[in-house]
Structure 1
């Protein structure tokens, strides 16, 4: 799994003036927490936050005052418009053997049914896996080229790496190829006298 290095700055709690000043300088507050570790309060540059990978699962090597912590991104709280990072939560993985995370699905190929006029519709963009940290994939690639008209892809059909346990219901629908809608034409005949 991909690892991203991020340098953090220590943060003092209870100083609103410092928080305001750091936000103005392009930093966002970060909370690092986890099993068997002391919570750590820090700042991350918004530039680093925005450069984190999208569309894949990744680990963060967070460095603060020379100390390194292996973490996973748990949450980014944003402003009400959804584009202004306000707070970041990182989970420390030091004492964690297994974690449960959402892993993105990447669909490749064009379903056969689409060539016959069908529509490919994705209902799930991620799948929840529980696994040891070193077994977690960045993403799961799913070949959908064999899906014909009316075909349904379930969670049970998704290939997952060895050592990973799927936490979603096996019967849950991931994607479908909808059959083309039949066009209904109405012919009105008017009688002339």
Structure 2
């Protein structure tokens, strides 16, 4: 679990014009909410935030006017064309508090010999875990699986202190049999001529 420190500036200007001015200064408008407290509008350093968000489920220790605030990113809005971060919603958390987050599912191992196809039905699982101990991913073994085999959410090993929120019977990974392609009309005619 990565914990990074960033400094936030409280902002009092809102709207498109203010947001554009903030982004021109290589900063990102953001909102902090949670625990029944009033929403706090802040500005974050653009490059540092972008680097922090490269880590899945990062815990950010924000310095807001000298006060420390632990937050996790809940929603990140990116420019659809250029990809830069336009806005971030941050959820305030406390040490020891449980939160629901999505964690990536990774596979390890080799399928059984044969022409089988691995289908990742779910790329993430929703889990409940302590805010300061969020796993970046979970790993499941596909060693020796054959066509027709599947792995359900309840079969994915989770770190200690983490519980599954996703439906336990949801299929996460399944192995499909590779299907032979239909012969083309020319191949079918050629096979018929040989017979």
Same fold (TM over 0.5): yes
Counterpart of 2:76 in structure 1 is 76
Contact 1:151 1:176 in 2 (8 A): yes
TM-score relative to the length of structure 2: 0.84
Counterpart of 2:135 in structure 1 is 137
Change (3 A) 1:15 1:118: closer
Counterpart of 2:146 in structure 1 is 148
Shift of residue 50, structure 1, vs aligned partner = 1.7
Contact 2:116 2:177 in 1 (8 A): yes
Moved more, 177-186 or 165-174: 177-186
Q: How many residues matched?
A: 188
Q: Deviations over 1:91-138 (max 9, x none)?
A: 0003872111111112122222xx311111111111000123244322
Counterpart of 1:67 in structure 2 is 67
CA–CA distance in structure 2, aligned partners of residues 82 and 150 of structure 1 = 41
Counterpart of 1:169 in structure 2 is 167
TM-score relative to the length of structure 1: 0.85
Shift of residue 57, structure 1, vs aligned partner = 2.2
Moved more, 29-38 or 88-97: 88-97
Change (3 A) 1:82 1:105: farther
CA–CA distance in structure 2, aligned partners of residues 67 and 61 of structure 1 = 10
Counterpart of 1:19 in structure 2 is 19
Shift of residue 151, structure 1, vs aligned partner = 1.4
Q: Deviations over 1:63-102 (max 9, x none)?
A: 1222111111000123343723221100000387211111
Secondary structure of 2:154's match? helix
Over the aligned positions, Cα root-mean-square deviation in angstroms equals 2.4
Structure 2: gaps of 5 or more residues: none
Shift of residue 2, structure 1, vs aligned partner = 1.6
Moved more, 129-138 or 99-108: 129-138
Structure 1: gaps of 5 or more residues: none
